[in-house]
Amino acid sequence: MSGPNEPGKPPIDIDDDGPATGVAIKSRTRTKKPAMYKVLMLNDDYTPMEFVVHVLERYFQMRHEEATRIMLHVHQKGVGICGVFTYEVAETKVNQVMDFARQHQHPLQCTIEKDDGGDED
């Protein structure tokens, strides 16, 4: 077995000041998608159905038919998804709905739940 400094061969000279050769690797940082959160509306026995429809239209930009469908789902199942948003948007919507309901003396409740990607109602 022969080493780098064999007799009769010049020693290997490593030149750190010379031009480097090799493969350039371009690295990109991949932006992670933000976690998404469901805004859930909870059923109660006191908030009028028309008020719930109005809230869904006003704060979640739903057409009347879609708002009515979600309101009926909340009424029958006890809870329904109003939409899926980033945390900050979901939190803002929950606060807006709760403030609006309080101003109109309704006990309507909304909450946030982390979206696991499943499609449940």
Give which of 103, 88, 104 is closest to 48, Cα–Cα. Answer: 104
pLDDT of residue 77: 98
Specify the pLDDT at position 27.
78
Edge to edge, the sheet with strand 36-42 lists: 79-86, 36-42, 109-114
Write out residues in the chain with pLDDT < 70, as ranges. Answer: 1-21, 119-121
pTM confidence score: 0.73
Confirm if 40 and 111 have CB atoms less than 8 A apart: yes
What is the model's pLDDT at position 29?
Answer: 82
CA distance 110 to 59: 12
Q: Residue for token digits 């400094």?
A: 5
Q: Where are the domains of the chain?
A: 46-114
**E-state strands within 60-117:** 79-86, 109-114
Which class is domain 46-114? alpha beta
CA 60 – CA 80 distance, rounded (Å): 13
Query: 22 CB contacts (<8 Å, ≥6 apart)?
Result: none
